[in-house]
């Protein structure tokens, strides 16, 4: 019986990026494309609506279509940090029109009357969608602190959306802390991405939310 021996080098098991004729790899080409895109965006800048870093003297727009121990805890934490809280919806007067609540919070932020916004509804999805219909608003639905940090850093999020159903008080406070502490990225590629969002947005000043009965 013949016995064959096959010798395999450890490196054979590792994926290696293909090498093109110019000596570059896929990763090299991706890096060049990103730098090229950033250069093109910076050549024709779009007026962005960046959010300034929160300070203890700033105001926060806080809206929810329901009240709960979570909204109570968020309100107390914001006040403890020294923010002047502008309340909207159920936490103010019991109203539950979440599209309108989200719109008012987003507009308050975009118009410069609040440093950032916080929105809550049962899933957090509805208010985040509604807020993002307001030009200049960048609402992020966050379920953990790492997501909130990334939303501020890479997406320059200016409205934090939370789920009343799935977010515990302890996690919500971690999320809020991460959102406040994070700073928007100064990387040209990240800035260009935000400018592209604003440039591609469709603005309709003549449309307002229809009241929900």
Domain count for the chain, please give it. Answer: 1
Residues of the chain with pLDDT under 70: 1-57, 203-213
Question: Would residue 209 count as lying in a domain?
Answer: no
Output the pLDDT for position 17.
44
Rounded Cα–Cα distance for residues 110 and 104 (Å): 10
Question: Would residue 206 count as lying in a domain?
Answer: no
Output the pLDDT for position 63.
98
pLDDT tens readout for residues 121-140: 999 999 999 999 999 999 99
Output the pLDDT for position 212.
45
Q: Is 121 known to be catalytic?
A: yes
Output the pLDDT for position 200.
78
Output the pLDDT for position 90.
98
* Catalytic choice (70, 75, 121, 193): 121
The residue range of the domain holding 175 is 59-199
Question: Would residue 120 count as lying in a domain?
Answer: yes
Question: Would residue 7 count as lying in a domain?
Answer: no
- Would you say 106 and 117 are in contact if contact means Cβ atoms under 8 Å apart? yes
Non-local CB neighbours of 158 within 8 Å, separated by 6+ positions: 49, 51, 109, 110, 116, 117, 137, 138, 139
Question: Would residue 13 count as lying in a domain?
Answer: no
Output the pLDDT for position 136.
95
Question: Would residue 174 count as lying in a domain?
Answer: yes
Q: At what angle do helices 169-181 and 145-155 cross, to 10 degrees?
A: 20
Question: Would residue 10 count as lying in a domain?
Answer: no
Rounded Cα–Cα distance for residues 108 and 139 (Å): 13
Name which of 109, 126, 108 is nearest 164 in CA terms. 126
Output the pLDDT for position 197.
85
CATH code of residue 162: 3.40.1400.10
Output the pLDDT for position 154.
96
Question: Would residue 8 count as lying in a domain?
Answer: no
């Amino acid at each position: 019986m013949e016995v064959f021996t096959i010798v395999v080098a450890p490196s054979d098991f590792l994926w290696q990026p293909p090498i093109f004729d110019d000596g570059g790899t896929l990763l090299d080409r991706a890096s060049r494309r990103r730098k090229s895109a950033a250069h093109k965006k910076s050549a024709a800048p779009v007026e962005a609506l960046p959010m300034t870093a929160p300070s203890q003297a700033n105001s926060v727009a806080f809206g929810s279509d329901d009240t709960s121990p979570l909204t109570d805890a968020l309100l107390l934490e914001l006040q403890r940090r020294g923010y002047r809280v502008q309340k909207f919806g159920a936490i103010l007067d019991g109203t539950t029109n979440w599209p309108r609540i989200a719109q008012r919070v987003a507009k308050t932020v975009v118009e410069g009357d609040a440093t950032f916004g916080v929105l809550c509804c049962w899933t957090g999805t509805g208010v985040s969608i509604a807020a993002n219909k307001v030009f200049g608003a960048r609402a992020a639905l966050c379920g953990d602190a790492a997501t909130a940090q990334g939303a501020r850093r890479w997406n320059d999020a200016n409205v934090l959306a939370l789920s009343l159903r799935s977010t515990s008080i302890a996690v919500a406070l971690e999320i809020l802390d991460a959102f406040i502490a994070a700073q928007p990225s100064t990387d040209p590629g990240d800035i260009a991405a935000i400018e592209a969002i604003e440039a591609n947005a469709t603005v309709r000043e003549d449309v307002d939310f229809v009241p929900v009965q």
